[in-house]
A and B are shown apart, each in its own frame.
Chain A
């Protein structure tokens, strides 16, 4: 029986963890199988959660979030017969599969769209916890904005420095208000549950927002410009399908592999003009072909397009 552990935001964060949950649900529906799940309540529980599931014989065990990296490194060797999958982090163990995404590429695309949709020439980004991974989102986004509007202002904010930053909608809302008062009319939230507050406020205040991880366009129809899709659902789905034969190693899910994308549906079709879509799609093709290289913040911890 496979198992999944969700990180602190909880499986209903409408974003990252929910995407993983959807992948698991999809697998369950298709195969009729069952799976075990656990939600983290605190940092210190991670190890117990992992061990408990492994002791109970769950296999494979998928966990969402980089924060599991360290404990997985110590737990995996104790259960050589169990396969583990971790998302957003590389753990080099013989029984661990690591799945990472090129968020910079997806963020670049929605950044272009934000630049094109902005009337004030100012756009915002609200990240969750201030870590290189999230800066990668922000940096890709800023590059995308600058690609279409070189003189645009990109306001980059982070919610906090601890995992609590993933689940602080009040702070998200206040940051969104602050960005709006600085002139931003499109705000990209890459902040897990915190983003719910950002999107809510943007809708309340009559500006556009961009969702993350899951397709969040439906949350405020006609008010969410698009969502940067990170196909965590696919990653989980695939892992569950591979089951006990989960292939260890590193799996990079990039634009080309369908790991990241932007969301189009009925909710935002009136917001995205055909020209915008054409421009973004063209860039996507160039990225896939390698013609266009988006700078990855995590490669050197710098961002050419903005400062945090």
Chain B
């Protein structure tokens, strides 16, 4: 693979890895607080629909972003009510909300626009357009660094840069703040938090809400930056890949960046079977590339690539009285 192609693929990696990263960080907050969330997919989808719809109607990507966050928050709170307030099964709640989202997004978009569950194409200010960083154009032809800066680092929408900035922010919140300490504690031993005089439900709801916000950004990115509008099932399993990345990253923020970019790289490669074929010298079925992130995750789960120990109280509703 020549350098230029590599840079091009890395550029794609960043674009495709961003929704995974946002969703992965979203999941990180929830799961660190002891609430398993396989509903990342549904939240992203709902956010994508809301963002696409509102951006189309208002003409502003920012308003769309807010709407996306709002929609995702509603789903997050439903998950919270089911799994925190009513101590329901978190996995089942997640599965249910994914279905609900998958159906209701199409219903709403169809009712509003009548375009087969799609929102109208967005352009101009209704989209988050690529930003060219300073000197990108002038440095473009500098060997090595030029293409890297121009193709991989510059030229993404603001949400991409925001997503990357969320990584250190997440780390800082988790490991350097009071909130982070309590959040991690509630995922490990809620009784310790409870007896320390802190509300378990409050913490968990806060975590779930953050998950909602981040999934909202992820979904809005899908509809208003990566693509120009919402289409049915447009998240296409990214929520599950993000979940896989979360496990791969062992619930840690920096590792989450690495894992999501790795999976983004696989997705970028899957777009370029020609390149893969040139490198591998054999015809690699595209489906093999598509399946790679999932296979990798299974290997991680199996402990072949290091053991992933989830937060100890994860998935269990906190019950004081039987």
Q: Indicate if A touches B (C-beta under 8 A).
A: yes
Q: Which residues of A contact B (CB under 8 A)?
A: 10-12, 39, 157, 160-161, 167, 169-171, 173-175, 177-178, 181-182, 193, 196-197, 200, 204, 219
Q: How many residue-residue contacts, CB under 8 A, span A and B?
A: 54
In the A-B complex, list the 7 residue pairs whose CB atoms are closest, starting with the nearest. A10-B116, A12-B115, A12-B116, A181-B8, A174-B271, A174-B12, A200-B228
Using A177-B12, A181-B4, A197-B227 as known contacts, say yes or no to A160 and B286 having CB atoms under 8 A apart. Answer: yes
Distance to closest chain B CB from A158 (angstroms): 8
Residues of A within 8 A of B274 (CB): 157
Residues of A within 8 A of B21 (CB): none
Other-chain contact of B121, A10, A196, A204 (Cβ < 8 Å): A196
Q: Is B226 an interface residue (CB 8 A)?
A: yes
Report the separation of the CA atoms of residues A215 and B117 in the bound assembly, to the nearest whole angstrom: 22
Using A177-B12, A181-B151 as known contacts, say yes or no to A170 and B227 having CB atoms under 8 A apart. Answer: yes
Q: Is B118 an interface residue (CB 8 A)?
A: yes
Residues of A within 8 A of B130 (CB): 204
Report the separation of the CA atoms of residues A168 and B151 in the bound assembly, to the nearest whole angstrom: 22
Residues of A within 8 A of B58 (CB): none
Query: Which chain B residue has the least Cβ–Cβ distance from A6?
Result: B116
Distance to closest chain A CB from B61 (angstroms): 14
12 contacts between A and B (CB under 8 A): A10-B116, A10-B117, A169-B227, A170-B226, A171-B271, A173-B226, A174-B16, A174-B271, A178-B271, A181-B7, A204-B130, A219-B121
Q: Is B70 an interface residue (CB 8 A)?
A: no
For residues 226 through 272 of chain B, which have their beta carbon under 8 Å from a beta carbon of chain A? 226-228, 231, 268, 271-272
Report the separation of the CA atoms of residues A171 and B151 in the bound assembly, to the nearest whole angstrom: 17
Residues of B within 8 A of A161 (CB): 285-287
Q: Is B199 an interface residue (CB 8 A)?
A: no
CB–CB B226/A10 < 8 A: no
Interface secondary structure of A, over-half rule: helix
Q: Is B15 an interface residue (CB 8 A)?
A: yes
Distance to closest chain B CB from A124 (angstroms): 12
Residues of B within 8 A of A177 (CB): 8, 11-12
Using A161-B287, A169-B227, A200-B121 as known contacts, say yes or no to A178 and B272 having CB atoms under 8 A apart. Answer: yes
Residues of A within 8 A of B231 (CB): 167, 169, 193
Give me 6 other A-B pairs in contact (C-beta within 8 A), A178-B5, A182-B5 excluded. Answer: A10-B117, A161-B287, A173-B226, A174-B268, A175-B271, A193-B231
Other-chain contact of B16, A170, A200, A204 (Cβ < 8 Å): A170
Number of interface residues of B (CB under 8 A): 28
Query: Which chain B residue has the least Cβ–Cβ distance from A10?
Result: B116
Residues of B within 8 A of A204 (CB): 129-130
Distance to closest chain B CB from A211 (angstroms): 13
Residues of B within 8 A of A167 (CB): 231
CB–CB B5/A181 < 8 A: yes
Query: Which chain B residue has the least Cβ–Cβ distance from A165?
Result: B286
Report the separation of the CA atoms of residues A62 and B244 in the bound assembly, to the nearest whole angstrom: 43
Report the separation of the CA atoms of residues A182 and B272 in the bound assembly, to the nearest whole angstrom: 13
Residues of B within 8 A of A200 (CB): 121, 228
Query: Which chain A residue has the least Cβ–Cβ distance from B271?
Result: A174
Report the separation of the CA atoms of residues A11 and B272 in the bound assembly, to the nearest whole angstrom: 28
For residues 213 through 237 of chain B, which have their beta carbon under 8 Å from a beta carbon of chain A? 226-228, 231
Other-chain contact of A173, B115, B117, B227, B272 (Cβ < 8 Å): B227
Report the separation of the CA atoms of residues A143 and B196 in the bound assembly, to the nearest whole angstrom: 76
Residues of B within 8 A of A173 (CB): 226-227
Report the separation of the CA atoms of residues A204 and B118 in the bound assembly, to the nearest whole angstrom: 21
Distance to closest chain B CB from A133 (angstroms): 18
Query: Which chain A residue has the least Cβ–Cβ distance from B129?
Result: A204
Distance to closest chain B CB from A135 (angstroms): 15
Report the separation of the CA atoms of residues A181 and B140 in the bound assembly, to the nearest whole angstrom: 12
Query: Which chain A residue has the least Cβ–Cβ distance from B285?
Result: A161
Residues of B within 8 A of A10 (CB): 116-118
Interface centre among B4, B9, B15, B274 (most CB of A within 10 A): B274
Interface centre among A161, A174, A193, A197 (most CB of B within 10 A): A174
Distance to closest chain B CB from A22 (angstroms): 14
Distance to closest chain B CB from A167 (angstroms): 7
Distance to closest chain B CB from A64 (angstroms): 14
Interface string of B124-145 (1 = CB under 8 A from A): 0000011000000000000000
Distance to closest chain A CB from B249 (angstroms): 23
Residues of B within 8 A of A196 (CB): 121, 228
Interface string of B85-115 (1 = CB under 8 A from A): 0000000000000000000000000000001
